[in-house]
């Protein structure tokens, strides 16, 4: 069994999220998602439009996702990898190099983002329509 782990806020779910989850799941037999908690988003100066519980429910409904747990800090990733027995950590390519130190625990892969789509861009587009 190959366990793949990824992280994110997954707010305003869009095709870029689905692509990342699909491609991540294709790398193993199980995909586990560390979902940024509302308090962790505040630390990152991010504000999700949906609560943690709503974002978690949406992720759990996606067929590529096998489990979801809260991400509460930057530092927890190494512990999560060990706790879950993760074989692969997947992050978007915009994070390239940021998590290379975790390669001592598992394989680290940076997958390309879907071009021209992000939750931030969607929020800006919605604001401009008002």
* DSSP string for residues in 12-23: S--HHHHHHHHH
- The mean pLDDT of 57-79, rounded to a whole number, is 97
- The mean pLDDT of 65-88, rounded to a whole number, is 97
| Residue range 15-39, pLDDT digits in tens | 999 999 999 999 999 999 999 999 9
Percent of the chain with pLDDT over 90: 74
Active-site residue list: 44, 46
| Residue range 34-62, pLDDT digits in tens | 999 999 999 988 888 899 999 999 999 99
Give the separation between CA 58 and CA 89, rounded to whole angstroms.
21
94 band by pLDDT with thresholds 50, 70 and 90: confident
**Burial (0-12, 13-18, 19+ Cβ within 10 Å), 1:** exposed
Say which residue the tokens 């021209």 belong to.
116
- The rounded mean pLDDT for the chain is 91
Say if CB 18 and CB 62 are below 8 A apart: yes
- The mean pLDDT of 85-113, rounded to a whole number, is 95
Task: Give the pairing type, strands 30-36 and 3-8.
Answer: parallel
């Amino acid at each position: 069994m190959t366990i793949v782990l990824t992280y994110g806020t997954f707010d305003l779910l869009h095709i870029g999220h689905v692509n990342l989850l699909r491609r991540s799941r294709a790398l193993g037999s199980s995909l586990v998602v560390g979902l940024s908690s509302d308090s962790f988003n505040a630390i990152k100066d991010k504000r999700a439009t949906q609560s943690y519980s709503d974002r978690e429910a949406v992720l759990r409904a996606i067929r590529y996702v096998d489990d979801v747990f809260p991400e509460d800090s930057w530092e927890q990733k190494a512990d999560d990898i060990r706790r879950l027995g993760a074989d692969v950590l997947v992050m978007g390519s915009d994070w390239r190099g940021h998590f290379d130190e975790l390669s001592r625990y598992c394989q680290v892969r940076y997958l390309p983002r879907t071009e021209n789509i992000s939750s931030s861009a969607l929020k800006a587009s919605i604001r401009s329509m008002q």
